[in-house]
């Protein structure tokens, strides 16, 4: 037996990790785009969160379409095309989305921007489906996790600088601009940004296509049958559409138009009695309308949870036709990943609106960039630390790096924001929260169940502290939500596919679909914020952390019944 490691194809790997950067750069930049668009287009919090809806729903739709087409053909479409060609197609599709974004900005159309982001993310969905297994293929399978983690580290660097670059493109400066001035800003820098991004997509596609160092990566393994799972996912998609359409249409209803007229009348009057009467009338009309919208959105959440629970119940009684969904850890993991991505995105995407409150600093949209960069940078801190376990270091070296790497990552976040001209002194003491995360790493001991319980508890406590406090304490608490989320993807993923054998590829595809949570949960929190206030709306991420902790216990119990030891596996730190 030859134990010599297969040599890593480094030129191909370095080309590949460019796409990991794109995913993080655009996704984190959305957190700056949301408050900007809210002021620029005069939107409510739910409407502004449609940026996340468009972006993350595209991941789900893309993965679902690939799964459906693969089911019909009997072979994995991405494997049939080859990972190299699939990434090229994905990059070109994202370039098409960048073009759509440029047109939408040129004509000043919000729905056009949403369509552009949707197309960009559809390309990302194809890229992500191919990139992770491709990274494993580019060297010895035994060191595959380290290459995926390297991609994750670059992805996280993209999430740190994305808010800075997109913030500059939107506001045209790093100086403070009042929210009332935003509506009059020219968007020419956004056009330049997406011209640049589109050209980078095309350049990366060309590098992949013409590089002789990048292998085709063709995989002709047959697709495992899962017709019942496919039908359930199609039904779930249709039901989700039926839940969201009434909400969208309600913004053009007679009541909504009447509210617009009353708001315009309110803005044009200075008489105290008239103002009071108009405000009362607006409240009487808007409250039942907002509750109706919330009911439909809550229905969307019920659809996802209900369909997955129904799949679990049916598959446990008659597993034939359900494919990977016959495994309880996979179905519960799909729900956990749905909630995790939703919570991760919702905390960051609603943060800008929270910071506008007087008790949170009364910040303008142009001033929130350092906080958004620190939140998504918290993901980088955790993922860089989590990536250490994938390398063959001695135990003592790992322990030293587990302290040094998070501190270096924190210094990098402070550094890039300082270079950009932001005063970061108000975030220096966030280092104490990073220290808590380092302790959590030592306690979790690289075990997925322990990791989820400990980091889930960290997230839960941070949301509680944030909800029951204000000012710097609450801001630090909500930012700590990013530190808690940073390491969860790999742990949930590993526990979900553990023990599912030949269904591992299919199970992985189902899990990637659950990025859908980033498109469903942030708009729900946005609408909740419209009703009970942005601060109180953080009850939703708190409940999300509760389920993630519950999943850790449930997964361990189900795996124990299958005679699988959860203490002897490690998790990838990235996604």
Task: For residue 89, tell me if it sits in a domain.
Answer: yes
pLDDT, mean of residues 375-387: 86
Domain extent at residue 414: 10-225+368-568
Q: Would you say residue 188 has pLDDT above 80?
A: no
CATH code for position 195: 1.20.1250.20
Report if residue 123 sits inside a domain: yes
Contacts of 426 (CB under 8 A, 6+ apart): 472
Interhelix angle 431-444/395-419, nearest 10 degrees: 150
Highest mean pLDDT among 87-101, 203-217, 221-235: 87-101
pTM: 0.89
Half-sphere exposure of 40 (CA within 13 A, CB side): 22
> Please, which residues bridge with residue 222 across strands?
75
Is position 354 within any domain? no
Mean pLDDT taken over the chain: 87
Q: Where are the alpha helices (DSSP H) in 251-327?
A: 254-267, 272-317
pLDDT value of position 391 = 67
Specify the pLDDT at position 163. Answer: 86
What is the pLDDT, as a whole number, of residue 28?
82
Q: State mean pLDDT over 390-401.
A: 82
Residue 332 within any structural domain of the chain: no
pLDDT exceeds 90 at position 541? yes
Q: How many domains does the chain have?
A: 1
Instruction: Pick the range with the lowest mean pLDDT from 28-32, 210-214, 258-262, 435-439.
Output: 210-214
Q: What percentage of residues in the chain have a pLDDT greater than 90?
A: 47
What is the per-residue pLDDT for 573?
Answer: 47
Is the confidence at residue 390, as pLDDT, over 80?
A: no
pLDDT for position 144: 66
Q: Comparing C-alpha atoms, which of 302, 265, 305, 300 is closest to residue 285?
A: 265
Is pLDDT of 1 > 50? no
Q: What is the mean pLDDT of residues 335-346?
A: 95
**What size, in residues, is the chain?**
575
Query: How confident is the model over 295-305, as a mean pLDDT?
Result: 95
The mean per-residue pLDDT over the stretch 188-196 comes to: 84
pLDDT of residue 204 exceeding 90, the answer is no
Better-scored residue on pLDDT, 262 or 544:
544
Residue 97 pLDDT more than 70? yes
Q: What angle is formed at CA 116 by the lines to CA 374 and CA 54, rounded to 5 degrees?
A: 65
Task: Find the mean pLDDT for residues 62-76.
Answer: 85
User: Of the ranges 346-360, 389-403, 491-505, 558-572, which one carries the lowest mean pLDDT score?
Assistant: 558-572
Pick from 175-184, 371-380, 391-400, 419-428: least confident: 175-184
Look at residue 197 in the predicted model and tell me its pLDDT.
Answer: 87
């Amino acid at each position: 037996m030859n134990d010599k490691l297969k040599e890593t194809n480094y030129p191909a790997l370095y080309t590949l990790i460019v796409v990991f950067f794109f995913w993080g750069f655009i996704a984190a930049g959305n957190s700056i785009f949301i408050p900007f668009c809210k002021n620029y287009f005069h939107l409510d919090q739910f409407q502004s969160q449609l940026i996340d809806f468009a972006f993350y729903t595209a991941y789900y739709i893309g993965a679902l379409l690939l799964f459906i087409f693969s089911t019909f053909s009997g072979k994995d479409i991405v494997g049939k095309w080859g990972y190299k060609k699939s990434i090229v197609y994905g990059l070109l599709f994202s370039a098409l989305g960048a073009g759509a974004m440029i047109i939408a900005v040129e004509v000043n159309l919000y729905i056009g921007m949403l369509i552009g982001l949707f197309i960009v993310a559809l390309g990302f969905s194809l890229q992500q489906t191919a990139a992770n297994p491709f990274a494993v293929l580019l060297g010895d399978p035994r060191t595959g996790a380290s290459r995926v983690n390297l991609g994750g580290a670059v992805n996280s660097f993209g999430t740190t600088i994305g808010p800075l670059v997109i913030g500059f493109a939107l506001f045209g400066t790093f100086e403070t601009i009042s929210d009332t001035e935003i509506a009059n800003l020219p968007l020419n820098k956004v056009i330049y940004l997406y011209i640049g991004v589109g050209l980078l997509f095309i350049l990366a596609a060309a590098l992949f296509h013409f590089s002789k160092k990048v292998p085709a990566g063709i995989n002709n393994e047959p697709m495992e049958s899962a017709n019942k799972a496919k039908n359930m996912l199609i039904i779930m998609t249709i039901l989700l559409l039926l839940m969201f359409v009434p909400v969208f249409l309600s913004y053009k209803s007679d009541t909504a138009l009447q509210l617009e007229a009353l708001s315009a009348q309110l803005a044009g009057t200075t008489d105290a009695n008239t103002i009071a009467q108009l405000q009362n009338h607006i409240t009487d009309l808007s409250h039942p309308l907002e509750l109706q919208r919330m009911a439909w959105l809550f229905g969307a959440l019920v659809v996802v949870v209900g369909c997955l629970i129904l799949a679990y119940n049916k598959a446990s009684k008659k597993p034939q036709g359900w494919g990977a969904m016959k495994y309880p850890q996979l179905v519960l993991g799909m729900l956990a990943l749905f909630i995790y991505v939703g919570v991760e995105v919702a905390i960051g995407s609603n943060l800008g609106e929270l910071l506008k409150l007087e008790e949170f600093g009364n910040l303008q949209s142009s001033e929130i960039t350092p906080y958004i960069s620190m939140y998504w940078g918290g993901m980088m801190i955790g993922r860089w630390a989590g990536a250490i376990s994938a390398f063959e270091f001695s135990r003592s070296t790992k322990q030293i790096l587990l302290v040094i790497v998070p501190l270096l990552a924190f210094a990098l976040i402070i550094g890039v924001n300082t270079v950009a001209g932001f005063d970061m002194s108000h975030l220096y003491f966030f280092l104490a929260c990073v220290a808590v995360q380092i302790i959590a790493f030592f306690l979790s001991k690289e075990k997925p169940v322990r990791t989820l319980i400990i980091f889930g508890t960290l997230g839960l406590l941070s949301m509680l502290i944030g909800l029951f406090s204000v000012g710097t304490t609450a801001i630090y608490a909500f930012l700590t939500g990013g530190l808690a989320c940073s390491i969860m993807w790999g742990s949930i993923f590993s526990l979900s596919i553990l023990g599912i054998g030949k269904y591992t590829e299919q199970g992985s595809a189902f899990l990637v679909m659950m990025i859908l949570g980033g498109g469903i949960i942030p708009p729900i929190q946005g609408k909740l914020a419209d009703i009970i206030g942005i601060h109180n709306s953080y009850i939703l991420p708190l409940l999300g952390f509760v389920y993630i902790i519950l999943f850790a216990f449930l997964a361990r119990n189900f795996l124990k019944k299958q005679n699988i030891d959860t203490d002897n596996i490690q998790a990838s730190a990235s996604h």
